Amino acid sequence: MDHQQILGLYTWELGTCFRHPGAGELETTVVQTLRTRLGSVEHIRACPSCVVAMEAKRQRLCEEAGVAYEPGHAGEACEPD
């Protein structure tokens, strides 16, 4: 899968990338959803170049863990089903 195909698995909206919030509003996608202690939900968003970097890292971690890698889950851990 090339980068365009991987990025096509995500839904993009304007937002702030968690890896470089100083860059301002960019096309971003939700890579992680956190529930705070107060019960509110916080979305962690990343821009296309960060998603590609996260996917590459996740693929490596999955291979090391012996788990099948599937793109489209950049913010998730590599765990067997």
How far is 12 from 28, CA to CA, in rounded Å?
5
Pick between residue 54 and residue 78 the one whose CB is nearest to Zn ion: 54
3 touches Zn ion by CB under 5 A: no
Pick between residue 54 and residue 62 the one whose CB is nearest to Zn ion: 54
Question: How does 15-49 read in b/e, with b if 16+ C-beta sit within 10 Å?
Answer: bbbbbeeeeeebebbbbeeeeeeeeeeeebbbbbe
51 touches Zn ion by CB under 5 A: no
Q: In whole angstroms, how close is the CB of 59 to Zn ion at the nearest point?
A: 18
Q: How many residues bind Zn ion (CB under 5 A)?
A: 4
Pick between residue 18 and residue 69 the one whose CB is nearest to Zn ion: 18
Which of 73, 80, 43 has its CA nearest to residue 58?
Answer: 73
19 touches Zn ion by CB under 5 A: yes
